[in-house]
Amino acid sequence: MRKKIVAGNWKMNTTLPEGLQLAKEVNEALAARTPKCGVIICVPFTHLAPIANEINAEKLGLGAENCADHRSGAYTGEVSAPMVASTGAQYVILGHSERRQYYGETSETLKEKVALALENNLTPIFCIGEVLEEREAGKHFEVVKAQIEEALFNLSAEDFSKLILAYEPVWAIGTGKTATDDQAQEIHAYIRGVIADKYGKEVAENTSILYGGSCKPSNAKALFAKPDVDGGLIGGASLKCADFMGIVDAWN
């Protein structure tokens, strides 16, 4: 059975003291619950090690929001997968649309990042999703298929099985405009089919596919009720403990 997951993506928010406070709140809220899903927070690089020291890793996973496409060396300002892993983090978001859009990330660089993440025992949370014009032109299926094929289909079935995917329609991210639960189900089922065609039904059935884009306590339950939606990647609503927990509790 594939894992149900709610993962926060803090993006470039919170100072270190603010982030530590938020992580402690989430950690305490989870200590008082038995969540029916895995819970992860993905935080800025600067916050990883201090947060790793404060949280119960049994109940709360920790991830970075990116990593470099090189192992080490003269790449000023970059943070490598081994560095992320050395903080105690277990996950890394890769291919987020904001990285693709603002920092020119391509399938070629993402391929390197995925390989380095896996080599360092980090679980990639790999993001895919179409922009509004592509959705309106009915091209969303081919866009996500190409994103998966180009960056991930070089992996062995064993390595592919280690990934978490996140479908995030770019037009729904931070806009308050969520995909409907039917739209999410339609494309999640399609993505699972694409995986099945390449790696077989068993791998596809075991891959967690999260939905991201204006997911909040009020719409999480309907989204998560869909058979191919295995949880959420949560931006804005992960910055308030009560909202984030409201989404975690949507699995109850």
Q: Minimal CA–CA distance to 163: which of 196, 207, 131?
A: 207
Q: Which is nearer to ligand PGA, 128 or 199 (CB)?
A: 128
* Residue 19 near residue 47, CB atoms below 8 Å: yes
* Residue 188 near residue 226, CB atoms below 8 Å: yes
Q: Minimal CA–CA distance to 13: which of 39, 55, 42, 40?
A: 42
Q: Smallest gap, in angstroms, from Cβ of residue 38 to ligand PGA?
A: 16
Lookup result for tokens 């904001």: 98
3-state DSSP assignment of residue 227: coil
Q: Which is nearer to ligand PGA, 68 or 215 (CB)?
A: 215
Asked about 70 being catalytic, the answer comes back as no
- Taking CA atoms, 22 is separated from 49, 170, 242, in Å, by 15, 26, 10
Q: Smallest gap, in angstroms, from Cβ of residue 24 to ligand PGA?
A: 22
Q: Which is nearer to ligand PGA, 80 or 214 (CB)?
A: 214
Q: What is the DSSP letter of 191?
A: H
Asked about 130 being catalytic, the answer comes back as no
Q: Smallest gap, in angstroms, from Cβ of residue 175 to ligand PGA?
A: 7
Paired tokens of 178:
């969520």
Q: Which is nearer to ligand PGA, 160 or 169 (CB)?
A: 169
Q: Smallest gap, in angstroms, from Cβ of residue 237 to ligand PGA?
A: 6
Q: Which is nearer to ligand PGA, 89 or 125 (CB)?
A: 125
User: What dihedral do alpha carbons 84, 58, 225, 248 form, nearest 10°?
Assistant: -80
Q: Which residues bind ligand PGA (CB under 6 A)?
A: 9, 168, 173-174, 212-215, 233-237
Q: How many residues does the chain have?
A: 252
Q: Smallest gap, in angstroms, from Cβ of residue 178 to ligand PGA?
A: 8
Burial 144-171 (b: 16+ CB within 10 A, else e): bbebbeebbeebeeeebebbbbbbbbbb
Instruction: Find the catalytic residue in 96, 105, 134, 188.
Output: 96
Separation of CA 135 from chain center: 21
The catalytic site residues sit at 96, 168
